[in-house]
């Protein structure tokens, strides 16, 4: 049960971080999780990295919600 709540928190954090990096020119995944660059130095364009983070966050969040709501 605690794992599910932690997974929901991680999913929410990924969603909000994805929203933050959409406005970046390019994004690189680094030790600080993501680094936003105002020029074309990063690994991925900002909208691609942001969209990917949002999709992964939504999947993790709702999978954890399904796990919490499952009757045991």
How long a stretch of residues is the chain? 72
DSSP state of 55: H
State pTM to two decimals.
0.84
For the chain, domain boundaries: 2-69
Q: What is the pLDDT along the chain (72 residues), one digit of tens a residue?
A: 788 889 999 999 999 999 988 988 889 887 778 888 888 877 888 889 999 999 999 999 999 999 888 756
Residue 37 CA from chain centroid, whole number = 18
Q: Which residues of 7-38 are buried (b: 16+ CB within 10 A; e: fewer)?
A: bbeebeebbebbeebbebebbeeeeeebbbee
Output the pLDDT for position 71.
Answer: 59
């Amino acid at each position: 049960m605690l794992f599910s709540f932690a997974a929901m928190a991680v999913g929410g954090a990924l969603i909000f971080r994805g929203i933050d990096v959409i406005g970046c020119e390019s994004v690189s995944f680094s030790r600080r999780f993501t680094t936003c660059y105002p020029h074309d130095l990063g690994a991925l364009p900002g909208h691609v990295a942001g969209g990917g983070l949002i999709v992964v966050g939504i999947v993790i969040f709702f999978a954890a919600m399904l796990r919490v709501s499952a009757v045991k």
